[in-house]
Amino acid sequence: MGNTAIISGITGQDGAYLAQLLLKKNYRVIGLIRENSPLNTNGLNYLGILDEVELVNCNLLHKDEIIVLFEEYQPTEFYNLAAQSSVYQSFIHPIATFQFNTISVFNLLEAIKTVDNKIRFYQASSSEMYGRVNDLPITENSILHPLSPYAISKAAAHFTCIHYRESYGMHVSCGVLFNHESYLRQDTFFVKKIIRESIRISKGEQEVLLVGNIDIKRDFGFAPNYVEAMYLMLQQESPTEYLICSGESVTLRAIIYYIFNKLGIPESACQVSSELYRPSEIEDMYGDNTKARSELNWQYNLTIFDTLDLLLVEELKNDNKTHI
């Protein structure tokens, strides 16, 4: 067995695909779960790797638990993917969102500083941090103007990581990932929700698709390719920040109509509801992935419509089976 990596948030979309990637590279993979919380291993099961990872209880809000974890498993790399990651839920539970998404990062970095500051640390930052941007495309040097409690919490965690890297010489890299989708995405996320409900409409099980503001534009990518960039960041000699994105944006309306067309659904089946609008919204957002391409040699050439084709095939194949 080669290196040991610990992944928080291993049961999520990115955690499952990252675990699969690291296992292929002969890593020992430790996945963190929280005791007394519902355990959903469907993604790990779907990828056929549940028996290959070691799941360990650890509460990231308790620094002492993390220290014991690091002393026992002696990881070479830590990938921090755990977060309250729903923008919508962050408006409902802003304090809880901020507390978990920031205190957990402080605890992890303090534990690394205490046990072994050579442990390489990856932080899942978010494009939501940039919020109301003045210039597009977004780059690593763009000004942050977060527009949700979730985005505020991610910005705080992001700067916490930079602080520990610069103050203590720790190998801490932040991946600023833009929207990225896969079959393992939770139903509450936009693309997954649209595909699932569109399939039901095509089968006569649902009449209309209710949506909020679908004229905003976003940068979408394919999750299995994006986790490759996470791994590459921790293989670099010098840690830093990287934008992981496709480099182009598309309206949510265009995504819906593309899926409708593929499934033979009339556009009139899409109905906008003002009740589904968010209190504040980013009109357009896309990034520049030049730094990741040049420094990480990260290769990415899929359009959002390439990704939608991949997801539709997988969703239709599994539609009559038990869903993730």
Active site residues: 126, 128, 150
- Helix count and strand count (H, E) for the chain: 11, 13
Measured between alpha carbons, how far is residue 169 from residues 71, 94, 119, 159, 173 in Å? Answer: 20, 32, 11, 15, 12
The C-alpha torsion from 25 through 28 and 29 to 33, rounded to 10°, is 180
Residue with tokens 């992890």: 108
DSSP result, 295-310:
HH-------HHHHHHH
Element containing residue 57 per DSSP (H, E)? strand 54-57
Q: Which residues face 80 on adjacent strands? A: 8, 123
Measured between alpha carbons, how far is residue 99 from residues 60, 93, 146, 152, 193 in Å? Answer: 11, 10, 16, 11, 28
Give how far the C-alpha of residue 99 lies from the chain's centroid of Cα atoms, to the nearest Å.
Answer: 19
Pair type for strands 4-8 and 28-33: parallel
- Taking a C-beta distance cutoff of 8 angstroms, is the pair 80, 105 a contact? yes
